[in-house]
Amino acid sequence: MKYWSKYFIPTLKESPADAEIASHRLLVRAGLVRKLGGGLYTYMPLGLKVMSKLEQICREEMERAGAIELQMPHLHPVEFWEKGPRWSAARQIMYRADHAGAGKRPPQEPEFVLGPTHEEIITPLIQSEITSYRDLPKNFFQIATKFRNEIRPRFGLMRAREFVMKDAYSFDVDDAGAGRSYQSMKTAYERFFARAGLKTIAVEADTGVMGGSASHEFMVPAEVGDDDVVYGEKSGYSANREKATSGIVPKDLVDQAPEGTLEKFSTPGVVTIASLENAPHSVPADKQFKTLVYVGDGKVFLVILRGCDELEEAKLGSLGFTLFRPATPEEILPLLGANPGSLGAVKNTFKDRSGIDGIYADHAIRLIGNGVTGANSDGFHFKHVNITRDLDITRFGDFRRVKAGEPDPQSGEPLKIERAIEVGHVFKLGTKYSEKFNAIYTDDQKQSHFIVMGCYGIGISRTLQACIEQKHDADGILWPWAIAPFQVLVCLLDPTVPEALQWAETLGKAAEAAGADVLIDDRAERPGVKFKDADLIGIPLRITIGGKGLKEGIIELKWRSEKEVHKIALTEASSRIAEAITKAQAASRIE
RNA sequence: CGGGGUGUAGCUUAGCCUGGUAGAGCGCCUGGUUUGGGACCAGGAGGUCGUAGGUUCGAAUCCUAUCGCCCCGACCA
């Protein structure tokens, strides 16, 4: 039981100028956090309480799933990262750490980095500690601060430079075991978010730099999210847009036969899909081949799409490159022989075909059949281009970005797309890390194998903000019971009246005995101020004790999420409060 | 990294274009009146106008540089 006058909840009437979205404004206004710098926040007492509750629920669910808690260093000797499989990509987001007190400037390369995650740390640990199948499977987790040099921190805790994350790592003898670990983590995640009162959807996701064979993200639908989720309402299909496919190419599609002979024609000044659509050429975008040039790990490759489609860059990850970028005109000209706008992949039109590593075509271009593409000669295009006869294609793949309304790949119903916040991510890693760190075990046949890994993250601090984003109204936050900083607020309107204070303490104790976290607002403030603050900080259950009510022998009970005020006789107040608390606890429990 | 914006009291901001004593609201302090949905009156404290240069008799205001922050994009586990 805490007394507001002795506690510290600095609420604000006005929003700070730098907070754009509702959850960010409420975080600050309700006194949950204060900013130190871009993407850096102090958790104020109330914010810390919510964080602790989220952490505790997370801890319980991890342990329930058999994971074991440990704590790894935040400061990592850089060698561990250099030895790992993703140093070149991962270093982009890492903060380097050197001895600030040293007399000389830091050397070219950092001695330490601040941990953005811990695969490179836990794998060597397991390598030295686990050598037998008898010690497997194992799953370790920690709840710790992570450091990432986000290119653009934004929206408060949503994308911060320093944030709290629960990360877990599973180690199994084989793929089947890893699959079970993955499944049990997925279940634990569903339970965690449900207990936290947050509605999430699990979607298929891209594995990105992390690598691995399968991955799901836990998403909170919200307009302010950074990701797009693609889903079919009836089929249950759902995927991150980076990963999503659609059934736009029928499975039984038969490639069209050539129509007419390949013909080069003059297109002076036509360097965009749109301009080729205009008269006099009038070629619809879905009859054009779009040719993009990329550089992946130093190698140049081409991607061919329909003119009306867009490249989903994340899908290029399937080509095996770790870092890629669009090629510059200077790189393109000597290889293709033309500038962007006149590029194509018709056989034998390249200036230097040997300099091109591969030509990858999106499946959807098969819908074009015969179309138009650049001639690799500035100011010229080809018409009557047939995919099988004319194009130089290394292989087909899925590279296009899915659009809303396209058929669901499974059921054919129109797909929907919504913005969402990623709050959790599970990966099947396979042996990518264990191979690099030589994490092997010996089986009962005396055979050595690489340990099969999985990794699992929950953004705890991001989940906190996502809860606010999902549960708020014009007046403030509506905390779910399980993670509310306090569950019961005793709103004492006349703190100077001894009898009122007495009742506040009595009822507060009754609520506490029933299992609630109790805050008593005993400040010498006017009632209006107290009610506004109560709504703002969003305590689920409010008990109001006022001088007038006391004279009539009543107090009031009000849920933050409801409008009605329940008047309760003092004589039965304690039991009615205990009842309400029991009800709320039951509602927030899951099986 | 590219584009745009912004920096004035703890918070929200006016003033800047057109140079001449830095203003308001909230919050804070004192006193009084109030007391069921962000009260009122009176008095008060609090600002190197982000920083550094420059122009000028004189700079919050004009110029240059620099730093921070915000937005859009790119990027992103």
Q: Is the CB of A296 under 7 A from strand B?
A: no
- Write down the pLDDT at residue A111: 81
DSSP letters for A527-559:
HHHHHHHHHHHT-SEEEEE-HHHHHHTEEEEEE
- How many Å apart are CA A157 and CA A329, to the nearest integer? 39
- Write down the pLDDT at residue A91: 85
Token pair 């506040």 is found at: A504
Q: Which class for A208: exposed (0-12), middle (13-18), buried (19 or more C-beta within 10 A)? A: middle
β-pairing verdict for A541-545 and A488-492 = parallel
* Cβ density class A497-533: b for 16+ within 10 Å, e for less: beebbebbbebbebbeebebbbbbbbbebeeeebbbb
Q: Which class for A572: exposed (0-12), middle (13-18), buried (19 or more C-beta within 10 A)? A: exposed
**Residue A462 tokens, joined:** 């991001």
CA–C1' span, A226 to B15, in Å? 39
- Write down the pLDDT at residue A92: 83
Nucleotide nearest to A476 (CA to C1'): B38
- Check: CB of residue A307 under 8 Å from CB of residue A272: no
Q: Is the CB of A563 under 7 A from strand B?
A: no
- How many Å apart are CA A328 and CA A339, to the nearest integer? 10
Q: Is the CB of A15 under 7 A from strand B?
A: yes
Nucleotide nearest to A555 (CA to C1'): B36
Token pair 């710790």 is found at: A144
Eight-class DSSP state of A375: -
Nucleotide nearest to A545 (CA to C1'): B36
Does a cis peptide bond (omega within 30 degrees of 0) precede residue A280?
yes
Q: Is the CB of A547 under 7 A from strand B?
A: yes
CA–C1' span, A533 to B77, in Å? 38
Quote the distance between the C-alpha of residue A509 and its chain's center: 40
- Write down the pLDDT at residue A102: 55
Token pair 């390949």 is found at: A262
The candidate with the shortest Cα–Cα distance to A194, out of A494, A392, A502, A424, is A424
Q: Is the CB of A92 under 7 A from strand B?
A: yes
The most distant pair of C-alpha atoms in chain A lies apart, rounded to whole Å, by: 98
Eight-class DSSP state of A459: E
- Write down the pLDDT at residue A320: 77
Quote the distance between the C-alpha of residue A223 and its chain's center: 14
Query: Which of residues 231-270 of A have CB within 7 Å of strand B?
Result: none
Q: Is the CB of A38 under 7 A from strand B?
A: yes
Q: Is the CB of A10 under 7 A from strand B?
A: no
Token pair 């069209």 is found at: A256
Query: Which amino acid belongs to residue A504?
Result: A
Angle, helix A570-588 to helix A498-513, in steps of 10 degrees = 30
Token pair 């119903």 is found at: A413
- How many Å apart are CA A95 and CA A112, to the nearest integer? 9
- Write down the pLDDT at residue A288: 94
- Nucleotide B72: closest residue by CA–C1': A152
Eight-class DSSP state of A482: G
CA–C1' span, A97 to B17, in Å? 47
Q: Map residue A331 onto helix, strand or coil.
A: helix
Q: Is the CB of A90 under 7 A from strand B?
A: yes
- Check: CB of residue A157 under 8 Å from CB of residue A164: no
Q: Is the CB of A553 under 7 A from strand B?
A: no
- Check: CB of residue A311 under 8 Å from CB of residue A400: yes
CA–C1' span, A26 to B13, in Å? 20
Q: Is the CB of A561 under 7 A from strand B?
A: no
Q: What is the ipTM of this complex?
A: 0.94
| pLDDT tens digit at each of 591 positions of chain A | 999 999 999 999 999 888 989 999 999 999 999 999 889 999 999 999 999 999 999 999 999 999 999 999 999 999 999 999 988 888 888 888 877 665 444 555 678 899 999 999 999 999 999 999 999 999 999 999 999 988 788 899 999 999 999 999 999 999 999 999 999 999 999 999 999 999 999 999 987 777 677 899 999 999 888 889 999 988 889 999 989 999 999 989 999 999 999 999 999 988 888 889 988 999 999 999 999 998 888 888 999 999 999 888 888 888 877 677 888 888 889 999 998 889 999 999 999 999 999 999 999 999 998 999 999 999 999 999 999 999 999 999 999 999 999 999 888 999 999 999 999 999 999 999 999 999 999 999 999 999 999 999 999 999 999 999 999 999 999 999 999 999 999 999 999 999 999 999 999 999 999 999 999 999 999 999 999 999 999 999 999 999 889 999 999 999 999 999 999 999 999 999 999 999 999 999 998
Q: Map residue A300 onto helix, strand or coil.
A: strand
- Check: CB of residue A41 under 8 Å from CB of residue A157: yes
Rg (CA), chain A: 30
CA–C1' span, A15 to B15, in Å? 23
- Write down the pLDDT at residue A106: 52
The candidate with the shortest Cα–Cα distance to A115, out of A166, A70, A62, A77, is A77
Per DSSP, helices labelled H in A75-174 are: 78-83, 87-90, 119-129
- Check: CB of residue A486 under 8 Å from CB of residue A50: no
Query: Which of residues 104-123 of A have CB within 7 Å of strand B?
Result: 116-117
Q: Is the CB of A11 under 7 A from strand B?
A: yes
Q: Is the CB of A180 under 7 A from strand B?
A: no
Query: Which of residues 333-392 of A have CB within 7 Å of strand B?
Result: none
- Write down the pLDDT at residue A299: 87
Query: Which of residues 432-491 of A have CB within 7 Å of strand B?
Result: 457, 475
- Write down the pLDDT at residue A128: 97
- Check: CB of residue A430 under 8 Å from CB of residue A452: yes
- How many Å apart are CA A191 and CA A141, to the nearest integer? 16
List the nucleotides on chain B closer than 7 A to a protein CB. Answer: 1, 11-13, 25-27, 34-39, 68-77
Token pair 């991962």 is found at: A90
CA–C1' span, A17 to B23, in Å? 20
Token pair 């919510």 is found at: A50
β-pairing verdict for A138-147 and A68-69 = parallel
Residue A97: its H or E element? strand A95-97
Q: Map residue A152 onto helix, strand or coil.
A: coil
State the pTM of this model.
0.93
Q: Is the CB of A533 under 7 A from strand B?
A: yes
Query: Which amino acid belongs to residue A218?
Result: F
